[in-house]
A and B are shown apart, each in its own frame.
Chain A
Amino acid sequence: MRFDWAEETLTQLNLPSFHFAVQKSEIECLLRLFNSLVKRNGQRLDKNGLDHGAFRGILHNVFGMTDDVLLDRVFFAFDKDCDNRINANEWVKGLSVFLRGTFEEKLKFCFEVYYLDGDGSISREVVFDMLKHSLHQHLSEEESGEGIKELVEITMKKMDYDNDGKISFTDFERAVKGDPLLLEVFGPCLPTAQVQLQVPTA
């Protein structure tokens, strides 16, 4: 019965839109996983899918991601139709980037996580928001604020190539291609290498 469901969903998905590296069997696996996760959360699977809290739990437990602000953002990046639920389609698409994504796909994904609701670019304020906890706590409020401001300046100087005060996708792409370390510049939003290797085999 469960298997049938998976087959069914598989046919519903627009397969060619995936990267061919994700094999059919792997998608089946993902779907089965999705199925069990939804069940565990005691929800009906027909339309709702995973809600916010459940998804965060998964990110936390399975992928070891802990940054609250970013977990929300990852959720919204997964949730393409903005219904506050991750459905099977979104799940498979998201995880395929997570686990088998090419550099370009990851680049795009990260940018989506960071710019979130903006006009297609990351503003200085958003950067500040994302970096505001990046200094250790032992500094005083004021010092820390100053420090963050400067850090934002440094970041903008590095990444805002056209000097328009915000980081567009072009800026982002250029910066990351120049230095791949900048991919997750505003915080970890992809699983780490170890997890990447472990999950598919699990």
Chain B
Amino acid sequence: MGVTLTRSLQWTASGHGTRTLEATPLNDGILEEIILFVDTFLYEHPREAKFVFVEPLGWKTSLEPSAFGAGYVISEKTVTSEEVDKNGEPLLVLSGPHIRIRSFGQLSRLLHIAKDTKLRETRACLEANRDPVVKILGLDYNTTKGEDFSALSILGERSNDNDSEPERPMTVARLLRQLDVHLLNHALRHVSSEMPLNPSAIKNDIELLKHHAGKGEQAVLESIEYTSDYEFSNGCRAPPWRQIYGEICYVLVRPHGAEALCITCSTQGVFLNGGKTDDEREINYERKGKIYKDLVTLLREKSPTFAENMATQENKHNEEQQKQKSPPDEVPNKEAAAARAAPAKSALEKNQINFSRGTARRLQPSLNWRKPPDSKEHRSSVKDTLEEKHGAKLERPRASLSTGKAHRKSTDKIEEIISESSSESEEDEEPPDHRQEANADLPSEYWQIQKLVKYLKGGNQTATVIALCSMRDFNLAQETCQLAIRDVGGLEVLINLLDTDEVKCKIGSLKILKEISHNPQIRRNIVDLGGLPIMVNILDSSNKNLKCLAAETIANVAKFRRARQAVRKHGGITKLVALLDCGQISLEPPQPSLYETRDVEVARCGAQALWSCSKSYSNKEAIRKAGGIPLLARLMKTSHEDMLIPVVGTLQECASEENYRAAIRAERIIENLVKNLNSENEQLQEHCAMAIYQCAEDEETRDLVRLHGGLKPLASLLTKTDNKMRLAAVTGAIWKCSISKENVTKFREYKAIETLVGLLTDQPEEVLVNVVGALGECCQEYENRILVRKCGGIQPLVNLLVGINQALLVNVTKAVGACAVEPESMMIIDRLDGVRLLWSLLKNPHPDVKASAAWALCPCIENAKDAGEMVRSFVGGLELVVNLLKSDNKEVLASVCAAITNIAKDQENLAVITDHGVVPLLSKLANTNNDKLRRHLAEAISRCCMWGRNRVAFGEHKAVAPLVRYLKSEDTNVHRATAQALYQLSEDADNCITMHENGAVKLLLDMVGSPDQDLQEAAAGCISNIRRLALATEKARYI
């Protein structure tokens, strides 16, 4: 019984004290079985019924004292049983609502008395006594729960001792065990029969019900429909955040003669939910009733008409079956066969169908009630359903389209997610597609636009052009108009027009599409309707005006991933790159004719479209492969701002890729970027600064920026703080440029550092990240550290340590760490409690922040007065640091090792971290190949050797042998640190032996010849220790 109670019953998850049994079919079944067991216990096992429980089972009952009859002593509030144990205590005591029972006999009687409330009493009893077996048999028996045979043998021994007693715990225990097995079987049967519902099963049910819904007498329902048209690729219609609860879809059912029901179909079953709220389009997902095994059962329960009509149909069907002997199994098979035959199914759909075939047997109950007067009609009705299904699909091209979309997405996503670059940010989540309600108050534009669309559909070229021109008189920037065009079916027509030969129609249509595609929803609709491939084809047109418009529209549409991908897949990138070339041929006719546009304009539009497209990684590659970079470089030489902005924008996006940066250097684009920093146009300045920011990752580029005189304009732009976007770009460029020392010197000359310190307050985060990053780089130099302190930069920096932005925190910690190198600055940091703030950042979940904070702590500890005391004052701080050694991030590990090196300089702290187990943790890291980690690890080890028997401990934890291997590394820093660590470790004889065994002596001898003095000394010291040991042993041998 115990096993079932703990494992099978479904408890609600709401906290501890108030956990109750959920009202699920499984629980109810188990409870009923328990009732049956207890109910009949008195008669079936009269002897065991007298067995007195070790502890009484107590709970709050709803029974009144008056309900008890013969065999009980009843007073006003209390009831006691006449049956008593051998001590004379009554076996049942009821006082107030509390009841305490001590035998199965009494339990059994109580259930008789309870009659209708049996289930409730049992439930209350089990909820109050989470482990009834313990109370019945005592704690000893419970310890062996599960291992029943051993339990029984113990029981056997025990019962042998007092065989004379009538109460036989062994038999009781055996009975309980039988019950437990029985219950488990029951639960198992339940679980297996309750195989989770799946989307296809539910879909079938709903389709079938739809088939039988309608107005007539015979119809089982008035209507049944999904709340959402959109079907995800897994067949669910519930939004993803509900799918995790196993919910599949929601249906709105209108039964005859009853209120509409809003029903949730989930894998656990089908239940009523809180209904649909009218104003919000939201569904109250809360469960409002029992869980039923399927829709039909629920509807039977909820609608009498449904049950009735179902029953009649079922009868008919049964009669039919007897007459015709046509097995209903045929139905699912045929359905499956038909589905298999259906062409053009994606693999996923096929899987679903196979799955539904697998579950066909389970679907039978709901197929039983279909109405087949004879077998032929039966067949045709099945066919009808299928046809209807297919028909419905055809009628709703949008729905099927979106399913396709979902498919495509799921397959492409993997590729795209990996390939998307960081610059991909805006609006990648699909916005909810809210269409206007048909009955809602529509603006007058709606009707006028509808009329115009009618002419687009039914008019010849002349009428179409007039309609197109009139449509442009509406304010197409307004969302109402944009959506109106879509909702009256205008988008389809506009896109169809693009496929005709009529240049004027194409131009008119594109002009409208260009405007309305500013709307994110329309963009998606255009892509869904297959507009992009057509526009890409238009890029080949000989009409420049058309080319321009198509490119501009593409520029607007390609603002989200799927669109960008579509452009690429249809060869759009190559064509767009070809547009850039237009400006060079310069075969312009002296008289630009009516529909002609200038070549420069074509190139500009092409650049605009490429800018939009260049936000996807694959597109960047495609642009490069199509030879876009030299063309962009050529266009950079113009002085048209209109042209420069999209060109620089594209470059800026692409510069996130290493090979682009190389190409940008090679094409001498930096020079032009710097030149355009001096432009009057703020947007252009912003994009140039942004491009420099991206490119200045490379040292060569940073030098180029300086050589072309780009640092001065950057520094002067720093003082213009009104345009935050530009400021962010400019500060970013300064940050990256200041990685080079020469640039920092220049910046100091231009007084940029003072300005940067001024920007530490009242700026948006994007700016702050860059400003702090720049200061972090500048503060690597002594003069600048002084400068920052004198300008009062330390206080705002420390204040920023409490932020939450990861990028910002990484930069702030770095900057604070750089400042802390200066003892005077360190005093300020200490006074502002900066060290504590840094220390608490070690708890930050992001490894970069952790590592950066740990690095920053090193100079702090090094330069603080009373560093040891300060470190100890952080409660739990040392333990935190030691525990960070369990991290799996190399950078974090290296930084923490460095911090430990500094911490361990204080003897007391070293003692504390030794107690926290720093030695085994460090030893565990010893087998690394990362030189940075090796170096800091070796330093930490050499420091930690200074305490107690840590030297020996390192040897015991096998840290010595790997350390010797570090000497084979390429890095001198690693050599020095390792030699020092080995020197420390060699004070212990066993370690010397290990070193010698691992060939340390030869390696160390090489190190002695090193020009590095510290290394020389440490290596020599180590060798001398090893040598001394050898001499000592020799001596010992001879004595």
A interface residue numbers (CB < 8 A to B): 21, 100, 102-103, 106, 130-131, 133-136, 138-139, 147, 150-151, 154-155, 157-158, 179-188, 192-193, 196
Contacts and interface: CB of A to CB of B under 8 A. Distances in A.
Contacts of A136: 458-460
Contacts of B1007: none
Given A21-B590, A150-B451, A179 B466 contact: no
Contacts of A151: 455, 459, 463, 466-467
B602 to A, nearest CB: 16
A184 B504 contact: yes
B460 A196 contact: no
A184 B507 CA distance: 14
Nearest to A175: B469
Given A134-B462, A196-B593, 5 more contacts: A135-B455, A180-B595, A181-B468, A181-B469, A185-B469
A179 B595 CA distance: 11
Given A21-B590, A21-B591, A193-B543, A181 B459 contact: no
A183 B508 CA distance: 13
B461 interface: yes
Nearest to A158: B470
13 contacts: A21-B591, A131-B462, A131-B463, A134-B459, A135-B455, A135-B459, A135-B463, A151-B459, A151-B466, A154-B451, A154-B452, A181-B469, A181-B507
> Top 10 A-B pairs ranked by shortest CB distance?
A134-B463, A134-B462, A134-B460, A187-B462, A179-B469, A154-B470, A136-B458, A158-B470, A155-B466, A181-B508
Q: Is the interface of B mostly helix, strand, loop or mixed?
A: helix
Interface string B497-509: 0000001100110
Interface string B442-476: 00000000011011001111110111111011000
A162 B972 CA distance: 89
Given A135-B463, A180-B594, A147 B458 contact: yes
Nearest to B473: A158
Nearest to A70: B462
Contacts of B591: 21, 100, 102
B458 A158 contact: no
Q: Which of B452, B466, B472 has the most CB of A within 10 A?
A: B466
Nearest to A187: B462
B494 to A, nearest CB: 14
Interface string B568-599: 00000000000000000000001101110000
A151 B465 CA distance: 11
B865 to A, nearest CB: 78
Contacts of B465: 181-182, 184-185
Q: Which of B467, B503, B504, B508 has the most CB of A within 10 A?
A: B504
A139 B594 contact: no
Q: Which of A102, A136, A150, A179 has the most CB of B within 10 A?
A: A179
Contact of A185 (B451, B455, B459, B462): B462
Contacts of A180: 594-595
Nearest to A179: B469
Interface residues of B, number: 28
A128 to B, nearest CB: 13
A165 B503 CA distance: 30
B474 to A, nearest CB: 12
B504 A181 contact: yes
A157 to B, nearest CB: 8
B460 A182 contact: no
Contact of A158 (B469, B543, B595): B469
A134 B462 CA distance: 6
Q: Which of B454, B469, B472, B503 has the most CB of A within 10 A?
A: B469
A157 B472 CA distance: 13
A186 B469 CA distance: 13
Contacts of A21: 590-591
B735 to A, nearest CB: 49
Contacts of B543: 193
B466 A185 contact: yes
Contacts of A184: 462, 465, 504
A157 B504 CA distance: 21
Contacts of A192: 503
B281 to A, nearest CB: 35
Nearest to A155: B466
A28 to B, nearest CB: 20
Contacts of A188: 461-462
A193 B503 CA distance: 9
Nearest to A21: B591
A158 B471 CA distance: 10
Contacts of A133: 460
Given A135-B458, A181-B508, A184-B504, A154 B466 contact: yes
Nearest to A180: B594
Interface in B468-486: 468-470, 472-473
A139 B461 CA distance: 17
A135 to B, nearest CB: 5
B463 A158 contact: no
A186 B462 CA distance: 6
Contacts of B473: 158
A150 B466 CA distance: 12
A65 to B, nearest CB: 12
B607 to A, nearest CB: 24
Contact of B460 (A135, A138, A193): A135
A147 B543 CA distance: 32
Interface in B589-622: 590-591, 593-595
Given A135-B459, A193-B503, A158 B466 contact: yes
A100 B467 CA distance: 29
Nearest to B589: A21
Contacts of B590: 21
Contacts of A102: 591
Interface in B811-830: none
Nearest to A139: B458
Nearest to B455: A151
A97 B376 CA distance: 74
A167 to B, nearest CB: 13
Contacts of A157: 470
A105 B461 CA distance: 23
Interface in B787-819: none
A144 to B, nearest CB: 9
A192 B590 CA distance: 19
B403 to A, nearest CB: 33
A48 to B, nearest CB: 33
A90 to B, nearest CB: 23
B496 to A, nearest CB: 14
B472 A179 contact: yes
A134 B543 CA distance: 26
Contacts of A135: 455, 458-460, 463
Contacts of A158: 466, 469-470, 473
A136 B594 CA distance: 29
A147 B457 CA distance: 12
A157 B451 CA distance: 14
Contacts of B595: 180, 193
A128 B455 CA distance: 15
A202 to B, nearest CB: 18
Nearest to B468: A181
Contacts of B455: 135, 147, 151, 154
B462 to A, nearest CB: 5
A154 B465 CA distance: 12
Contacts of A185: 462, 465-466, 469
B883 to A, nearest CB: 72
A133 B462 CA distance: 10
Contacts of A106: 594
Contacts of A187: 462
Nearest to B454: A147
A171 B451 CA distance: 24
